[in-house]
Chains A and B, each alone.
Chain A
């Protein structure tokens, strides 16, 4: 198995805050790897270290086998990094932004125009080629940012929450673009707060307080959940959650949309009875209770406790 990104024991602190605490992570060549974790877990810090914007206090990392610390400019020539905040030039047009980044990466002129056309097609930004970046919608901005990141055909792509603040349709479109890139053999390391996006990755890792807690394929993650899980559909579900929690009869009660996930070590039948009696006492109508397979977020919520 060849790895494209090797991160070994990397630590980084800002003053007294520990951002990364001896983090070790390996990303395989050509895989789409999702990094998931709450705000402040160290996701952005890790990506910034990989592209040399931050210098690690300890540990080392290799990108495509090249030492990221010692040969930073070499590494930068074959990686693409897209920061969380849209940071292209608002007063430059779509084409101007892309050409500028192509020139920064010393893409030959002819090649530049070919790639420009291809990326415009790819990102469906073609009709907006002369539009200034500030006049683009959130989704289009994100696609432009990605196009600028891709103009030098990087081997490794580092994306920091690329779909935050983007509408659901653009989000789906963006991810299908990523899937296409993955098909072309680009190694992608992407951070995301969305579990449905995590499910699209080949492997995911859960990062918390500067450390990796679990790394596995998205489909394997739910099996880490060792308790029984029931999905409860009822009226006044927020209030219901409070009553169930106060009863202290369950391992955990979590709100997922308009449903509640109740976990317990006890058999499902027993838990169902307990839920019904608790809510009956509170005068809350139960619509349905059914056992469900744990989802990625159930596991992560569990891990955080």
Chain B
């Protein structure tokens, strides 16, 4: 004789295994997502299209343009001859920035203190515009220093060095975040509909007329998904490590421990939704709203929380992904241990337990309400 929740678990495993739809979600979704996010979301600047209006047309100016493009950040896609050609180039999306080198550039370079070089940037993509301006500014600063270091008296020599992600590679930043988002998605999508589905098909009625307790149903329905979500988490991390060369500095077992804690919280959230909605459709919508969106937008996955309005910052405190992001970035990139991460871990445990508790309390073993 096995405990009732084991019976529910076994049955749930059979459902998952025999339902091609949920199997597809479990296997394919993480891979598709990591491909899309890994390749599409990149904050690394490469090959920005620029136009050059070189009014000087001297060896010096040409050498400077060569140095500008040597970095690989920029490619010259338009060689402009007149100011009137600039706007059509912007409108035709041939360039996102234009550098205008004045007449007598090479002559003034050694004599004048101020040589006006103009930079025009397409601001319709403000992110790209900002990055472009900063890169080009830095380039000209360096270039100026090379030309005439003597003229400048700069007592402070600032030497930036980035730790943990020295190349500031986006993948290193994105991949750990992806683990958080995808796991939440899997857990929420799969569990949110499971109770609602049984309500819809009428099988819940049949289960409820047995002497089962709410807790046995809730726990039995939650647990099978822990294994699946953990397998997904491992798959994503391995994938990130192999394909995007994201480092993994922490201990794998430690990672596994945190993953289990996070999955527990995510599943509790999914079950929490499922236990109170009537239909699968509503369950899926609610899951999107309550889990996926906040995990993507309010977790610090892409957008830094500190730069959000106060209200959103407050909401972010109850987004589990936010805490897991802190944990997983620390584990993967910094290789820190448990001691530094007990706070977010504790939050996840408490939050998950609370949701599970409320779900069990609110789940009635009848069809009323």
Chain A residues proximal to chain B, CB less than 8 Å: 48, 51-55, 72-74, 76-77, 79, 81, 83, 85-92, 96, 100-101, 103-109, 148, 152
Contact = CB atoms under 8 A, between A and B. Distances in A.
A58 to B, nearest CB: 15
Contacts of A54: 366-368
Contacts of B141: none
B207 A104 contact: yes
A92 B14 contact: yes
Interface residues of B, number: 27
Nearest to A97: B11
B2 interface: yes
A109 B1 contact: yes
B209 A89 contact: no
Given A76-B210, A81-B209, A101-B210, A52 B1 contact: no
Interface stretch (B36-44, B198-206, B268-276): B198-206
Interface string B190-228: 000000000001110111111111000000000000000
B367 A48 contact: yes
Contacts of B2: 103, 109
Given A54-B367, A105-B211, 20 more contacts: A53-B209, A55-B366, A72-B365, A74-B211, A76-B209, A76-B210, A83-B205, A83-B206, A85-B202, A87-B205, A88-B203, A88-B206, A91-B19, A96-B11, A100-B7, A103-B2, A103-B4, A103-B6, A106-B1, A106-B4
B205 A76 contact: no
B362 interface: no
Contacts, number: 77
Given A55-B368, A87-B206, A92-B14, A108 B211 contact: no
Contacts of A72: 365
Given A91-B14, A100-B7, A51 B211 contact: no
Interface string B42-61: 00000000000000000000
Contacts of A101: 206, 210
Interface string B5-19: 011001100110011
B11 A53 contact: no
Contact of A53 (B4, B201, B203, B208): B208
Contacts of B211: 73-74, 76-77, 105-106
A103 B9 CA distance: 11
A237 B27 CA distance: 64
Contacts of A100: 7, 10-11
Contacts of A148: 206
B15 A91 contact: yes
A86 B11 CA distance: 18
Given A53-B367, A54-B367, A89 B203 contact: yes
Interface in B163-188: none
Q: Which 5 A-B pairs have the closest CB atoms?
A: A103-B7, A87-B202, A104-B210, A73-B211, A81-B209
28 contacts: A52-B208, A52-B209, A52-B366, A53-B208, A53-B209, A53-B366, A54-B366, A54-B367, A55-B366, A76-B209, A85-B202, A87-B203, A87-B206, A88-B206, A89-B15, A89-B203, A91-B14, A91-B19, A100-B7, A100-B11, A101-B210, A103-B1, A103-B6, A104-B210, A105-B211, A108-B1, A109-B1, A148-B206
